[in-house]
């Protein structure tokens, strides 16, 4: 496959794999948009690493991708994406045929946005070993940044957990317990489909930080929302990787406890996506450590739509079959772009939530339209059983049912 870009009305230009293009009104940019006062000198970067093509937006006025506003954010491009910069329109397409030879252009344009750098500096604490470079996203616990590890020279992801506890002494004890839990992850060892632990620490006022390998791609939630659901042949290979990673955790007596699309990362490698599992057991550590600022309910950890019913009531007793329910929901979301759940209505207050856990809508017919083999549909249906004993016991069993072996 080859990919191309053009400014509307001009010729198509081939994108070499590995290419990073600077786009803006400055004549030194690779794509120069002249005579448009709404275009910044260096408006955006476009990175092409098949199967991923993404835009890093850096402008003063913002841009659009397929009609949706993007400002100081990263957005994936998909087939026939239309990118609006000021009054200019860029188009992107992928066609059958050979791609040009890989580009050896250094990916040096990536961190050049001064206002992003200023923002990152303002929002991150000083940690001698790390130079914070980019904001990657925010979740329930806090923010995630891309940083340079000055010791190893590697790019890493640093996640902060904002902690609030008026009792200083208690907070100190909780922090020590939480850090111990995080450090236990390093003892698991490395796995190709699980994000590697690198470091952790505590900065008073800023919270606990966890340093992991950077996944230079996107999470599966963004992938599906920005590019659409995956077809079975592509999804199948990724599911196998995800289940291998999850099997590794289960074999090591670790349940993930928060499987969902945003906790599984996708990264381009040799022209294909590859998967890595993130955020395992963190909620559990948080709970064990007695920290209470992670969720709004304070007593339960769950991700609406993905967590099984028993997680809402009995968080501490979860076993790998809870991950099986969550992975069933996650795989369905990756294939269909939505969840097979009836409307939940107004959110009831915990603990009545379990009683009103949404009823699962049928999954067979939607999945058949995606040409899934019957055995795969049967396996996904079994993952989503309400009673944990009726599901597969762990990821190894599910992998066998889906892929044999």
List of residues contacting ligand ATP (CB under 6 A): 136-141, 144, 157, 159, 195, 212, 214-215, 219, 262-263, 265, 278-279, 303
Binding mask 121-140 for Mg ion (x = CB under 5 A): ------------------x-
Contact call for residues 215 and 276 (beta carbons, < 8 A): yes
Residue 352 in contact with residue 282, Cβ under 8 Å? no
Cβ closer to Mg ion: 25 or 74? 74
Q: Applying CB under 5 A, does 25 fall inside the site for Mg ion?
A: no
| Residue 279 binds to Mg ion (criterion: CB under 5 A) | yes
Task: Give start and end residues of each alpha helix (H) in 252-317.
Answer: 282-288, 309-313
The listed partner (Mg ion, ligand ATP, none) that binds 383, CB under 5 to 8 Å by sort, is: none
Q: Does residue 263 interact with Mg ion by CB under 5 A?
A: yes
Q: How many residues bind Mg ion (CB under 5 A)?
A: 3
CB of 212 to ligand ATP, least distance (A): 5
Nearest alpha carbon to residue 353 among 398, 310, 318, 395:
310
Non-local CB neighbours of 369 within 8 Å, separated by 6+ positions: none
Q: Which does 179 bind (CB under 5 to 8 A by kind): Mg ion, ligand ATP, none?
A: none
Question: For residues 248, 251, 252 and 257, what is the CA-based torsion angle, rounded to 10 degrees?
Answer: 80
Q: Which is nearer to Mg ion, 123 or 140 (CB)?
A: 140
Q: Which is nearer to ligand ATP, 65 or 144 (CB)?
A: 144
Specify the residue, 90 or 188, whose C-beta has the smaller distance to Mg ion.
188
If one counts every other C-beta atom within 10 angstroms of the C-beta of residue 192, the result is 12
**Smallest distance, ligand ATP to C-beta of residue 67, A:** 22
Minimum CB separation of residue 195 from ligand ATP in Å reads 5
Is the N-terminal amide bond of 402 cis, ω within 30° of 0? no
CA distances from 119 to 62, 115, 143, 210, 310 (A): 16, 6, 13, 20, 41
Instruction: Kindly list the residues in this chain that would bind Mg ion in the complex (CB under 5 A).
Output: 139, 263, 279
């Amino acid at each position: 496959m080859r990919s191309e870009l053009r400014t509307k009305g001009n010729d198509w230009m081939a994108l070499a794999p590995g290419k990073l293009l600077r786009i803006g009104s400055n004549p030194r940019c690779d794509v120069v948009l002249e005579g448009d006062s709404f275009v910044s000198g260096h408006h955006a970067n476009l990175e092409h690493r098949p199967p991923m093509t993404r835009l890093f937006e850096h402008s003063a006025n913002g841009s659009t991708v397929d009609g949706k506003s993007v400002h100081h954010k990263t957005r994936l491009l998909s087939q026939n994406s239309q990118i609006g910069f000021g009054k200019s329109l860029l188009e992107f397409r992928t066609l059958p045929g050979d791609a040009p030879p890989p580009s050896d252009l250094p990916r040096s344009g990536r961190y050049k946005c001064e206002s992003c750098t200023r923002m990152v500096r303002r929002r991150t604490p000083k940690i001698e070993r790390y130079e914070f470079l980019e904001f990657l996203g925010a979740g329930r616990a806090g923010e995630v940044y891309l940083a340079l590890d000055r010791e190893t020279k590697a790019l890493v992801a640093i996640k902060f957990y904002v902690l609030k506890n008026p009792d200083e002494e208690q907070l100190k004890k909780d922090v020590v317990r939480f850090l111990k839990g995080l450090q236990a992850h390093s003892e698991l060892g490395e796995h190709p489909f699980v994000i590697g632990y690198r470091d952790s620490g505590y900065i008073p006022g800023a919270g606990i930080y966890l340093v992991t390998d950077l996944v230079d791609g996107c999470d599966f939630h963004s992938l599906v929302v920005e590019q659409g659901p995956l077809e079975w042949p592509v999804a199948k290979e990724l599911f196998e990787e995800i289940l291998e990673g999850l099997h590794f955790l289960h074999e090591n007596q670790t349940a993930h406890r928060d499987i969902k699309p945003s906790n599984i990362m996708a990264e381009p490698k040799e022209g294909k996506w590859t998967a890595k599992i993130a955020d395992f057991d963190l909620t559990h550590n948080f709970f064990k450590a007695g920290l209470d600022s992670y969720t709004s309910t304070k007593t339960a950890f769950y991700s609406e739509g993905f967590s099984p019913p028993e997680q809402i009531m009995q968080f501490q007793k979860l076993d790998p079959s809870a991950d099986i329910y969550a992975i069933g929901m996650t795989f369905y979301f990756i294939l269909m772009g939505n969840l097979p759940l009836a409307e939940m209505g107004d959110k009831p207050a915990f603990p009545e939530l379990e009683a009103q856990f949404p009823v699962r809508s049928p999954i067979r017919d939607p999945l058949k339209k995606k040409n899934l083999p019957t055995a795969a549909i049967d396996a996904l249906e079994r993952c989503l059983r309400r009673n944990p004993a009726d599901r597969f016991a762990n990821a190894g069993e599910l992998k066998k049912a889906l892929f044999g072996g």
